Amino acid sequence: MLQKRSVLKQSRARATVAAKRPFTPYMVNTHASGVPSGDCLMVVHYILKRTGLFIGHKNEAFSLKVFDRIQSVDRPPASVSVALGLFDGLHLGHMGVIARARQAAEDRRLALGVFTFTMNGAVPPHKQPGEIISFNMFSDIMRDMGVDYIFRPDFSQFHDIPAVDFINTVLLGRFGAAHISCGENFRFGRGGGGGTGTLIELCRGRAGVDIVPMLSVDGAPVSSSRIRARIQAGDIPAANALLGRRFCIDFEVVHGRALARSWGSPTINQPFPDTFVTPRFGVYATVSRIANTWYSSVTNVGVKPTVGSDHVLAETYIHDFEGDLYGRKVRVDFLDFIRPERKFDDLETLRAQINADSAAAADIAGAYVVKANGSQ
């Protein structure tokens, strides 16, 4: 475990590093009414205008510790500013809560923690909403923001704890929270009996509390369910605007039938986990990241009706890339919907359509790739 002094040195160093380094290009040129756009991580610009917080490049020197069980958490050596929430989409509203926690950490020289949770042991799989972000990607963004600790127990570990015990034993006791930030609709404790009023009362004189108002865009709250609906409808630009980043996948590449390879256009196949949101079946303009380099790409999501597939796949052709990616987790970011998935009468017609889709995707993705690679 880090000593308190080293944690505080990291906190000060983090601000210095962030002030000197360029933005990480998670987001490029997304436009939506009411939401700012930019060449980089849109959330950065959004939060900068409201909190003065600067989020810089990831620095691998900063450690990030993840705890999956409440019982495994030893009280950190330094007091912690904790952001509370499910953070299942890590959208603009969620980032606002985490940014507020980070601001408190910087102001008060605290370590920075995020308390979220999984629902694997509490909700039947068929009733779970589709995930919008993988935990691997979630962790990368948290590391970029300088988070020291992720507390990520399953909901079943604490859902039956009374609200007062959750605050006293878990947050203030085991997690060492000196400051707590959450959204205005956050509930906690047995049966959701605790709300923001309860949180403020129980923490009075013991820990600071920030309640972050719900963010609205185009007259409606930014929510994971709203984003999920846009993804499922194939409205990727709207989903990306609400996320403040590009919707992406980073699943493992598996072997396919190698049909596209025989045509000189090898593709990667990435099966969608059952727990992950599935975009509308069809063809998308995408960008793919391999070894810190971005490439324009075109991705088909669906079951490949012309040749057949046993499960939902993302099949991606990556322009100007040659190499073996089997077994690797490749990040593919979605930019826009091109056309619905369809069944073709023969393979030659399919091949011609793939070439047309590839050209259309390259036109959309080209500017993204140039800017993303140029800002690294």
Q: Do 173 and 258 share a structural domain?
A: no
**Site of tokens 């002030």:** 19
Same domain, 179 and 88: yes
Confidence category of residue 177, pLDDT binned at 50, 70, 90: very high
Say whether both 263 and 207 belong to one domain: no
Does residue 126 share a domain with residue 23? yes
- Residue 229 domain flag: no
Is residue 223 included in any domain, yes or no? no
240 part of a folded domain = no
Structural domain for 348, as ranges: 247-374
CATH number of residue 76's parent domain:
3.40.50.620
Least confident stretch, 44-48, 103-107, 108-112, 318-322: 44-48
Domains identified in the chain, total number: 2
How many Å apart are CA 63 and CA 65, to the nearest integer?
A: 6
Q: What are phi and psi of 19, to 5 degrees?
A: -70, -20
pLDDT in tens, 64-89: 888 888 777 766 667 999 999 989 88
Any domain includes 180 = yes
The answer to whether residues 345 and 205 belong to one domain is no
Query: Are 202 and 273 members of one domain?
Result: no
pLDDT at residue 97 greater than cutoff 90: yes
Q: For the sheet containing 293-302, what is the strand order?
A: 248-249, 331-340, 282-290, 293-302, 313-318, 267-271
Q: Could you tell me if residue 192 is inside a domain?
A: yes
User: What value does the mean pLDDT of the chain take?
Assistant: 80
For 71, counting Cβ atoms within 10 Å of its Cβ (0-12 exposed, 13-18 middle, 19+ buried), the class is exposed
Most confident of 144-153, 205-214, 265-274: 205-214
Quote the pLDDT of residue 136.
93
Please indicate, yes or no, whether residues 345 and 268 belong to a single structural domain of this protein. yes
Q: What is the pLDDT at residue 52?
A: 37
| Residues 266, 198 within the same domain | no
Same domain membership, residue 312 and residue 189: no
Q: What is the pLDDT of residues 54-70, one digit of tens each?
A: 333 344 445 788 888 87
Q: What is the pLDDT of residues 178-235, one digit of tens each?
A: 999 999 999 998 888 899 999 999 999 999 999 999 999 999 999 999 999 999 999 9
Which CATH number does the domain housing residue 255 bear?
2.40.30.30
84 assigned to some structural domain: yes
pLDDT digits (tens, 9 = 90+) for 241-266: 999 999 999 999 998 775 655 555 68
Which residue from 108, 82, 88 is spatially nearest to 171, judged by alpha carbons? 82
Do 110 and 53 fall within a single domain?
Answer: yes
In a domain, 233, yes or no: no
Q: Is residue 280 located within the same domain as residue 206?
A: no
User: Same structural domain for residues 213 and 263?
Assistant: no
234 within domain boundaries: no
Give the pLDDT mean for 92-102. 95
